Amino acid sequence: QVQLVESGGGLVQPGGSLRLSCVASGSIFSINVMGWYRQAPGKERELVAAITRIGTTNYADSVKGRFTISRDNAKNLVYLQMNSLKPEDTAAYYCKISFGLHDYWGQGTQVTVSS
């Protein structure tokens, strides 16, 4: 079995920062792609950032220059450093990994950006 656990969400003021973490555990051989998605109330889930095993990254246009994704392959960890947060970043953030022929999702961590 594979389990993903996200952490690091919370309430932050506009302009603040948060760092999200996701650790994958279970029957894992090698994770190809790790990524972060988010979903705000009433909206579809969208890709925020993704990173391959060799470090290739891609970001949603809305977060470029503000968010940074990174990973520790040995520990099956992926991070999302979120800077200059805006109210529109408020959402539930979900970790996703691609392993073998399957995708796996975490249960999400809430990020709320508000005064």
Task: Tell me whether strands 31-39 and 91-99 are parallel, antiparallel or unpaired.
Answer: antiparallel
Q: What does the pLDDT profile of the chain (115 residues) look like in tens digits?
A: 899 999 999 999 999 999 999 999 988 777 789 999 999 999 999 999 999 989 999 999 999 999 999 998 888 899 999 999 999 999 999 999 988 888 999 999 999 999 9
Task: Tell me whether strands 109-113 and 10-12 are parallel, antiparallel or unpaired.
Answer: parallel
pLDDT at residue 70, as a whole number: 96
Q: Contact 13/83 with Cβ under 8 angstroms?
A: no
